Amino acid sequence: MISGRLGASWESSARDRFASGLVGSRIGIVETRRVQRPPSSTIVTVEDFRRSGWKSAAGDPLGQTAGYVSRCSGLRSAAATATTEGDLPKARVLWLLGDACALRLDPQRINEPLHSAFEGEEYPFGLSTLSDGDLELLDCVCPEIDDALIQARVADLLWLCRQPRKVHDALRAIDAYRKAPLDGDAWFLQDSRNCWRRAIVLAMQLRKAGEARLLEIEMALLAAINTQLDAGRAGPSLIEALLEAGLARAHLAEFAERLIARADQTLGSDAGNRFFLARHYLSLAKRCYGLQQNLERCADLDYAIAEAFASEAGSRISGEHRSHVVAASFYADAVRALLAMPKQLRAARGVDERLRSLRQTQRDVAMQSIGDFVPIRGEPVDIQEEVRSAQMMVAGKELTEALLALAECWSPASRKRAEDSARERMEQLSSNRLFSSRKLADDGRVVARSPAAGDLTAASKEAEEAIWNKMVEDHTFRLRFAVQAAISPALMCLTAEHFISDDDLVSIVAQSGMVPRERVALVAKGLKAGFEGDFEVALHLLVPQLEHLVRTHLQNKGAKTTTTDADGLQMEAGLSTLVTLPEMEAVFGEDLTFEIRAVFCDGFGPNLRNEVAHGLLDADAMLSAESVYAWWLIFRTVYRQYWYRDGSPSRSEHPAA
């Protein structure tokens, strides 16, 4: 499915005002929204469906490479052509099927598992927009649809929208969803995961009427696991699907032992992501034993997971791509894995001694972490080509390469260039040197003041402060243009061509090595919200996690991140304080430090950390260019750390491919 909620009306919508003036056409599905659709009063019959050519428009049949995204694109394109040619009944059929395929399937959402992938569409489509006439037509044509994915979607819509609900709609949807392939990459690339998960949910909702199909689903997944668990990526994910549904309880121990064997085999390979995959298998095995209340085996797996973290840490302080920062983070993860073990089970495994050893190693490695972060450097963007250049960087690439293109679609800030530019401009305009300035909030409050710079050649506090404020102010203007000219069009192009799943982002964030293990899911969730255009959620999740990430790495470097008040109480310093510590540039580099401080902590900039923390941003402000840039900056930092951790990964080497 397409992920993202970037609207279609850029100049009129408050949600998308940050991209007003955007030029250049958008690709794929987005372009078809501009075509005027047939009126809702258009009469459509089954014969119109039969002559519509829907099957050829939908593209490859199930079992090839196509999923809902390609079907949606093909159907909407054919619908636009039919509309232009004036064949309105045919166009209405194709639009209806194309819109149905455009809905995003989220099996975990019980109330609305099918929902719009885009908000702000010119022609919004969702469960609430289906008319009685639409439902009657879908009911008539559903038995004639021999494309399993489309038939499953149509039957599911009938089940969700018709009142009273009809059991045969759900049964038909289950049977169609079960035709999604279970072998190899198809499990990930053709929406098969969500199809089978949705089939399970429907069978459970039907209770007695779905018992037979639920048993058949369990047997089919078990057969697939039996043939795929020892190789490929699908096997462990198939197990997760069963565990989520509470199925196959009698096979938990068998699953666990085979996963442990696979983890051992993976650790013995030379794959670049072997440690991450091995920990994934071990964690899943622990989950299986946990459901059986087998605490002894769970403790064994805690120890094995810790050793996998320690092994990866060791690999990161030797070889060509060294990173003491990442290594220290992995040693910290190893410590946390051991601490997860119940105290009464630690003595027999020598955990206390191992904890002391790991903590000492972590401290030693952290002290060697200066300059280890991947510097943020990118190829300069040809801003004359603006939107089209950004789109071309992303279009037509595999997902991992498209994500890298998004991360590098705009050249990062340079602190030195920002300072030189600010100093030059202040020298040219005497008003910048003779008068102080202030920044007002929307409600008229003075939120920042800057002194008169005076003589810029003098080493005065006032001159330094004025130059810094000018740097931040200039950077704010620059980031607004970056969002308009590159980031937004690149993001829209990517979400039109690819679906980025929660699992993909969890994998990327975890493998980046820079996010503390217990915060991986939160950071991934925040990044996912940005890909869906939900920057309100993205900011509220990511800004606190950025502060925690900065604090963690500064602590690993030995920095003092607490303050003591008059009563002797120790409090953790906020991000605005952390970015001024001398260790900040040593760990993150001067350029990234400048951007974090300018975007999140300075009154002359967006000041997003404080604005979010104190609830000062309204909905529109959270969808501004500054908010989009903040999300992109965090995504960029994480993804580049992931991509360049051991050189560019091949598509077969990691789950995000």
- Report, as an integer, the average pLDDT of 258-269: 93
Structure-derived torsion over alpha carbons of residues 217, 219, 223, 228, reported in degrees to the nearest 10: 50
Tell me the average pLDDT across 325-354. Answer: 90
- pLDDT of 373 > 80? The answer is no
Q: Please classify residue 467 by burial: count the beta carbons closer than 10 Å to its beta carbon, then call 0-12 exposed, 13-18 middle and 19+ buried.
A: buried
Instruction: List the beta bridge partners of residue 114.
Output: 105
- How much of the chain, in percent, has pLDDT values that exceed 70? 81
Q: Using one digit for the tens of pLDDT, what is the confidence trace for 443-459?
A: 434 445 555 555 555 55
Identity of the amino acid at 486 = A
Average of per-residue pLDDT across 47-53: 93
Contact at 8 Å (CB) between 377 and 365? no
105 phi and psi, to 5 degrees? -95, 120
- Looking at residue 215, its pLDDT comes to 96
Q: State the pLDDT confidence band at 429, using cuts at 50, 70 and 90.
A: low
Element (H, E) at 570: strand 570-572
Sequence-distant (6+) residues with CB within 8 A of 326 are 313, 316, 372, 513, 514, 641, 645
How would DSSP label each residue in 390-403?
HHHHHTT--HHHHH
Tokens 């120790």 sit on residue: 570
Q: How far apart are CA 32 and CA 99, in angstroms?
A: 11
- Look up residue 466 and give its amino acid: A
pLDDT band at 441 (very low <50, low <70, confident <90, very high): very low
Which of 72-81, 187-196, 420-429 is predicted most confidently?
72-81
pLDDT the model gives residue 230: 84
Higher-confidence residue of 459 and 645: namely 645
Residue type at 208?
A: K
Kindly report the pTM of this predicted structure.
0.67
Instruction: Name which of 648, 150, 181 is nearest 397 in CA terms.
Output: 648
Other CB atoms closer than 10 Å to residue 363's CB: what's the count?
A: 13
The pLDDT tens digits for 556-602 are 888 888 877 666 677 788 888 898 898 999 889 999 999 999 899 88
Query: What integer pLDDT is reported at residue 614 of this predicted model?
Result: 78
Count CB neighbours of 376 within 10 A. 21
Peptide bond connecting 164 to the previous residue in cis, omega within 30 degrees of 0: yes
Per-residue model confidence (pLDDT) at position 391: 86
Q: How many CB atoms lie within 10 A of CB 39?
A: 8
Closest to 24 (Cα-Cα) out of 496, 532, 486 = 486
- Give the tens place of pLDDT for each residue, 32-44: 445 678 888 889 9
What's the chain's average pLDDT?
Answer: 81
pLDDT at 273 over 80: yes
Residue ranges of E strands in 37-180: 104-105, 114-115
267: helix, coil or strand?
Answer: helix
